[in-house]
Structure 1
Amino acid sequence: IAHESTSGNLPDGDPETAVSQTKLLYAGANRLTAMKLALLDLPEGNAMRAPGEAPGLMVLEVAMDEMAEKLGIDPVEFRVRNDTQVDPHAPDRRFSHRDLVGCLKLGADRFGWAKRNAKPGSLRDGQWLVGVGVASAFRNNMVMKSGARVRLDEQGTVTVETDMTDIGTGTYTIIAQTAAEMMGVPLDKVVVRLGDSDFPASAGSGGQWGANSSTSGVYAACVKLREAVAQRLGINSADAVFEDGQVRSGNRGVPLGEAAQGGLTVEDTIEFGELSKTYQQSTFGAHFVEVGVDVHTAEIRVRRMLAVCAAGRILNPKSARSQVIGGMTMGVGAALMEELAVDTKRGFFANHDLAGYEVPVHADIPHQDVIFLDEVDPISSPMKAKGVGELGICGVSAAVANAVYNATGIRVREYPLTLDKFLDRMPDAA
C-alpha cells in the first residue's frame, strides 16, 4: 500500500498529515507513505474542522473500493480481511483496543448492505439512480496532561474547577458526571466552573483529546478528595464507598457534607507518561451512505447515513451523538459542495465567506443514525474512554464518493463531486 500527499503552506509551515492513517489502518508487508510540502504565498494552512485523517481518508477509502472491485471482493469483506491488531510498521506494538471489524460488520447488518447491487448503475428509483457506499473511519486517540481542583463543602456540594473549555461539545456535562459518579452524589450537587486561567491547566479542547483527558484530570482530583474524606473520618480509603451522598465503611455511614466540616479542597493532575509509545491508541468506525443521482441533471442527494463508532467508553451518548452527526454533516459538505477558489494573481481565497463557499444546510442532510459499540479501552485512561469528535467526519466523504460510483458507474477522483463532473458521462436517461 502506498500513499503520498502534497499540500501547501507558508515557509516554516507544516504539511497536511494526510497519510497518518494509512500507516496504521490496514495490514500489508509492502508500505510507502510520504508527505511533500509546497511553499505558497497564501494564508497559513492549518487544521480547522478535522485532522489529516479526514482528507487522507477521502482518498484512501476510495482506493480501497477500487481495489476491492478489481479483485471481485465485497468492499466490506475486503476491509475486514486487511484488518490488523498491531502497528504494521512495529508489530510488537499492539493497539490498546481495536474493533474496526465489529464496526464494519454491525454497520453492514444495520444498513442492509447485503441488498446492495455490486454492479454500478443498476438500481433505479424513478428519476434517481441509487447507490450505497462504505468507508472506514480512523482517528488517533491522543491523551494529554490535564488538571483539576475539587472542593467539597458542608452541604455536600462538589465544585470542580479547571481551565478546560466547553465549545458546545458538552464539557460541563461530562465533567459533572465524572465528579458525581466519583463522589457518589447526584448531578444537582455538582458545580462545574471552566475557562478561568486561575484554575488548574487542562488539556484544552480540540483534536478529540479534550473529553478523555479533562475528565481523567477530574477523576484524579476526585480520587485525592476521596482519600482526604476517608482520612478525616479515620477509615481506609480503599474500603470507603461513596454513594447516595454518603461515605460508608462497613456498617458506618456518614453524610458527605458532615465529613467536610470547614470544607475540603484538593488539586491533582493526570499524566500519561510513555503510554503512547507502549500501545498504539486509535479510534475506529464505519460510515455507510446511500445516495440518489438524478438521471437527467446528475444532481446528487444523500438519502441515508449511518456511522458505527468504536471509541471506548462513551461518556455521554447524547452529546457524543451530536459530535458525530456534526462531523457526518461536514463530511457531506466536503464531498459534494465545499471548494475554495484561489485568486492566483493576488494570492487570496476569492470565496472567503458563506455567500460563495457553500456548506450543507438542513435540506441537504437526511436522518442520520449513529451506533456506538458497547466497549471500554482499559489502557487509554482511568475513564476507559477515547475521543469521538473527529471520528464523525473521517471517512464520510469517501463513503459518499463510493455510493455515487455505485449509483452511476462514474468514478470522479476530484472533490467536490459536483454535477458538472458527471453530466456528460451519465447513462441514457431513458
Structure 2
Amino acid sequence: PAPGSGGQFGAATAGSAAFAAGMNLRKALAELATGDPNSPLYGDDPELVTFGGGNIAVDNRAEPLDRLVARAAPDGVYVEGSITPAADARDYSQHTYGAHFAEVGVDPDTGEVRLRRMFGVFAAGRILNAKTAMSQITGGMIWGVGTALHEYNEVDPRYGSFIAQDLAGYHVPAHADIADLSAMFLDEVDDKANPMGIKGVGELGIAGAGAAIANAVYNACGARIREYPLKPEKVLAALP
C-alpha cells in the first residue's frame, strides 16, 4: 500500500511463491523497524518481531505498519520471492476438487426447469479465510445456475455487439431462483502443493454446477441437453 494508506502488507502471488514472498516481506519490515532509530522497536532482534492488527511489535512495544513505512521507506517496501518445483511435483496431482449435487423440477408441458436444491462438497487444501472462501464457492454455484438455466445473449451480426445491454434484458438468477443452496469444504491440508498446504479456490464453485443441473434435468424427464442455457424450448424438443 501507499505510505499512510494502512491495510495489510502482502504479495499478490499464488501458492509457494506467495509463501516465499510473504516471508521475505515480513523479514524486510522487521529489519526496517529494528534498524530505525525513530521506531520503538529500534535495536531489537528482527527474529522476535510479530505482526497483528496492522501493527508491528516486539513484546509490548508496537507501531502501526503504515506509520513505519511512511516514515522509514516513503517509496514503499519491495521484495521478491521465488521457488523451484518440488522433486515430486510430477508425481502428484495438486488440483482442487469438487462435487455438485442438484435436484430440479421440470414441467413437461412448458419445459420450464426450476432448481429445488443444490449442494456442493469441495477439497481446496487448507482454507485460510472460511467466510470469503465459502462466499466464493456459493457465488460460483449460483453463477453456474445462471449459466445453465438463464443467461443468454444474442450477438447483433451487423455490429458484433451484444443485444441485451442491461439486466432488464439479460436474466441472472434472483432470490426466487435459488431456493436451497449450500456447500461445505473437506478438512484437507495438501502437503504436496506448497509449504502452507493451500490451493486456490478460484472458479471451483462454477466448474461442475451447470453439468450437475443438466444431469438432474435428464434424470427428471429424460431430456439430454448439451448446450446452455437449458431453455424451455430445448427441453420440450429433447423430451423422449
Q: Same fold (TM over 0.5)?
A: yes
**Structure 2 SS opposite 1:422:** helix
**Structure 2 SS opposite 1:415:** coil
Match of 1:363 in 2: 176
Residue 192 to residue 416, structure 1, CA distance change in 2 (3 Å): same
**Structure 1 SS opposite 2:182:** strand
Which of 331, 344, 359 aligns to 2:144? It is 331
Confirm or deny that 1:278 pairs with 2:89: yes
Q: CA RMSD of the aligned region, Å?
A: 3.7
Residue 425 to residue 384, structure 1, CA distance change in 2 (3 Å): closer
Confirm or deny that 1:306 pairs with 2:119: yes
Q: What does 1:3-82 correspond to in 2, within 5 Å?
A: none
Contact 1:233 1:259 in 2 (8 A): no
Match of 1:257 in 2: 61
How far the C-alpha of 1:272 sits from its partner, in A, is 3.2
Q: What are structure 2's unaligned runs of at least 5 residues?
A: 35-40
Confirm or deny that 1:192 pairs with 2:7: yes
Q: Could you list the per-position Cα deviations for residues 111-167 of structure 1 after superposition, in whole angstroms to 9, with x for gaps in the alignment? A: xxxxxxxxxxxxxxxxxxxxxxxxxxxxxxxxxxxxxxxxxxxxxxxxxx48xxxxx
Q: What are structure 1's unaligned runs of at least 5 residues?
A: 1-160, 163-190, 195-199, 204-208, 246-253
Q: What does 1:229-244 correspond to in 2, within 5 Å?
A: 232-234=43-45, 237=47
Contact 1:212 1:386 in 2 (8 A): no
Match of 2:12 in 1: 202
Q: What does 1:53-202 correspond to in 2, within 5 Å?
A: 161=1, 191-192=6-7, 202=12
How far the C-alpha of 1:344 sits from its partner, in A, is 2.3
Contact 1:232 1:259 in 2 (8 A): no
Query: If the length of structure 2 is used for normalisation, what is the TM-score?
Result: 0.72
Q: Could you list the per-position Cα deviations for residues 38-88 of structure 1 after superposition, in whole angstroms to 9, with x for gaps in the alignment? A: xxxxxxxxxxxxxxxxxxxxxxxxxxxxxxxxxxxxxxxxxxxxxxxxxxx
Contact 1:311 1:387 in 2 (8 A): yes
How far the C-alpha of 1:281 sits from its partner, in A, is 3.1
Q: What does 1:220-235 correspond to in 2, within 5 Å?
A: 220-225=24-29, 232-234=43-45
Residue 216 to residue 395, structure 1, CA distance change in 2 (3 Å): farther
How far the C-alpha of 1:392 sits from its partner, in A, is 0.8
User: Which whole-Å CA distance do the structure 2 matches of 1:375 and 1:226 have between them?
Assistant: 32
Match of 1:112 in 2: none
More strand by share: 1
Which deviates the most, 407-416 or 216-225? 216-225
Match of 1:405 in 2: 218
Query: If the length of structure 1 is used for normalisation, what is the TM-score?
Result: 0.43
Residue 244 to residue 316, structure 1, CA distance change in 2 (3 Å): closer
Identity among equivalent positions (%) equals 44
**Structure 1 SS opposite 2:165:** coil
Confirm or deny that 1:377 pairs with 2:173: no
How far the C-alpha of 1:385 sits from its partner, in A, is 1.4
How far the C-alpha of 1:363 sits from its partner, in A, is 1.1
Contact 2:97 2:124 in 1 (8 A): yes
User: Which whole-Å CA distance do the structure 2 matches of 1:393 and 1:276 have between them?
Assistant: 32
Q: Could you list the per-position Cα deviations for residues 228-269 of structure 1 after superposition, in whole angstroms to 9, with x for gaps in the alignment? A: 76994359x4xx595999xxxxxxxx6252699x95876533
**Structure 2 SS opposite 1:278:** coil
Contact 1:305 1:368 in 2 (8 A): yes
Give the residue type in structure 2 aligned to 1:272.
Answer: I
How far the C-alpha of 1:291 sits from its partner, in A, is 0.8
Contact 2:99 2:122 in 1 (8 A): yes
Which of 345, 350, 354 aligns to 2:167? It is 354
How far the C-alpha of 1:214 sits from its partner, in A, is 5.5
Confirm or deny that 1:296 pairs with 2:106: no
Confirm or deny that 1:218 pairs with 2:22: yes
How far the C-alpha of 1:402 sits from its partner, in A, is 0.4
Confirm or deny that 1:269 pairs with 2:80: yes
User: Which whole-Å CA distance do the structure 2 matches of 1:312 and 1:348 have between them?
Assistant: 41
Residue 339 to residue 417, structure 1, CA distance change in 2 (3 Å): same
Aligned residues: 216
Match of 2:38 in 1: none
Match of 1:90 in 2: none
Contact 2:12 2:18 in 1 (8 A): yes
Residue 296 to residue 258, structure 1, CA distance change in 2 (3 Å): closer
Contact 1:219 1:382 in 2 (8 A): no
Contact 1:216 1:382 in 2 (8 A): no
